[in-house]
Amino acid sequence: MSTKLPQNPYSYVSHLECSLTGQHYSHDRMRGLSDAGAPLLVRYFLGKISEVISKDTFVQRSPDIWRWREFLPLPLEMEPVSLGEIETPLIAFRELPRVFIKDEGRLPTGSFKARGMAVAVSMAKHFNANGLVVPTAGNAGSAAAAYGAAAGIPTHVYAPIDTPTITLQEIELHGAQCHHVDGLIDRCGQLAGKAASENGLHDLSTLAEPYRLEGKKTIGFELALQFNWSLPNVIYYPTGGGTGFIGMWKAFDELEAIGWIGSRRPRMVSVQTLGCNPIQQAFEAGHDDIMTAFAPVDTIVPGVRVPKPLGGRLILSVLRASGGHACAVSDDATIECRDQIARSEGINLCPEGAACHVAYLSDLETGAVNRDETVVIFNTANGLKWPMPELI
């Protein structure tokens, strides 16, 4: 790797790299996929970061995603588009003190999608995008709408018609144009792509531009810091497009490359539901990528309704490298768990978070995880964004 630092505008980014072929691209303009049609990964002059700034400096900064500024692509002199992306808490279960919920529902727009959109929309503004478009299972759309509003950039969202109503309302409340699609996120993606090319909009689809992943990566830094530069034994993550999953792993690699953590990694567990589990199917079949779109999709858990994630190859490689596994739980068990945790722990999990807890309990039974292990379960959104049980 060249050691020449970019001059102006200044960031620690060295280049973009095709995740399939390794081909390098300059980061001097907005880019989508690589020539091979694969996601682009942002690469940094990591050695330079650790030379000029110590671990302690990061610790002393205000606890939000921008404390990791040198590991992010936005040039340092640029003001980010921010709505207050705070560090999210780890909440220990009362009965299981080594099991933590990472509560991402505290972030702007009530979900972890704020992390990716804060960085991607900041970069879109930096590159003078005059319109944004995103396909969504729901939460990415409301985050794009909010950050688009904060950046003053018109935003279009393509969302399945059966997305929770409150999320569709939230998208419109932020002034985005919400296109209700009779189909799933893959159909939304086709329509968003068409709108992008016909109207010159910047396409924020999952992994189709390199910067949402960088925002999501901050979850990995945050975990390392919260566990005192060690990492938990197992992480349960509800997987749709997989940006948080891939992003966390990228963060761990970057931290190891500069010597702030060792080579030990958590076992990464990808959680889906029986009504949409393409990752589990591909993982168990020993495939390197997801070959066919899952059909028919039939689940009430919106975040995992992605029949063929673009980042399938990356997700599967993280699963294997970490010694983790992929699982799928039922919708009924998910909702029962959501209701039970609300009563026993006082935490209103989103269905995606509840699905992760169901997966953890089932792994405890099979012995895939044991009670002595430190576990993080991702609650990726605020439970208030989903319908609650009828009044008694």
Ligand X SMILES: Cc1ncc(COP(=O)(O)O)c(C=O)c1O
Kind and range of the H or E run holding 44: strand 40-44
Nearest CB to ligand X, comparing residues 210 and 238: 238
Nearest CB to ligand X, comparing residues 17 and 352: 352
Residues 372 and 97: beta-carbon distance below 8 Å: no
Residues 196 and 133: beta-carbon distance below 8 Å: yes
Nearest CB to ligand X, comparing residues 27 and 102: 102
Determine if 193 is a binding residue for ligand X (CB under 6 A).
no
82-90, 171-179, 240-248, 332-340 -> range binding ligand X (CB under 6 A): 240-248
The SS3 of residue 233 is: coil
Q: Cα–Cα distances in Å, from 17 out to 24, 25, 33, 227?
A: 5, 6, 10, 30
Nearest CB to ligand X, comparing residues 193 and 241: 241
Closest CA to 30 of 200, 241, 259, 216: 200
The SS3 of residue 234 is: strand
Name the minimum Å distance from CB 357 to ligand X: 13
Which residues have a Cβ under 8 Å from the Cβ of 66 and sit 6 or more positions away?
Answer: 72, 80, 82, 85
Question: If you ran DSSP here, which 8-state letter would residue 102 be given?
Answer: E
Site for ligand X, residues 72 to 111, rule: CB under 6 A = 111
91-99, 133-141, 253-261, 361-369 -> range binding ligand X (CB under 6 A): 133-141
Which residues have a Cβ under 8 Å from the Cβ of 194 and sit 6 or more positions away?
Answer: none
Work out the number of other CB atoms within 10 angstroms of the CB of residue 377.
30
- Total residues belonging to the chain: 392
Nearest CB to ligand X, comparing residues 45 and 360: 360
Q: Which one of residues 241, 266, 278, 383 is an interface residue with ligand X (CB under 6 A)?
A: 241
Q: Phi, psi at residue 87, to the nearest 5°?
A: -70, 130
Determine if 352 is a binding residue for ligand X (CB under 6 A).
yes
β-strand pairing of 177-181 with 155-160 = parallel
Determine if 243 is a binding residue for ligand X (CB under 6 A).
yes
Q: Which one of residues 193, 380, 383, 386 is an interface residue with ligand X (CB under 6 A)?
A: 380
Determine if 273 is a binding residue for ligand X (CB under 6 A).
no
45-53, 238-246, 257-265, 367-375 -> range binding ligand X (CB under 6 A): 238-246
Determine if 167 is a binding residue for ligand X (CB under 6 A).
no
Nearest CB to ligand X, comparing residues 81 and 381: 381
Q: Which one of residues 39, 80, 135, 138 is an interface residue with ligand X (CB under 6 A)?
A: 138
Name the minimum Å distance from CB 272 to ligand X: 9
β-strand pairing of 267-273 with 325-329 = parallel
Q: Phi, psi at residue 114, to the nearest 5°?
A: -60, -35
Site for ligand X, residues 110 to 129, rule: CB under 6 A = 111
Q: Which one of residues 34, 109, 122, 139 is an interface residue with ligand X (CB under 6 A)?
A: 139
Name the minimum Å distance from CB 378 to ligand X: 8
Name the minimum Å distance from CB 311 to ligand X: 8
Question: If you ran DSSP here, which 8-state letter would residue 36 be given?
Answer: T
Determine if 324 is a binding residue for ligand X (CB under 6 A).
no
Question: Which residues of this chain interact with ligand X, rule CB under 6 A?
Answer: 111, 137-140, 206, 238-244, 303, 350, 352, 380-381
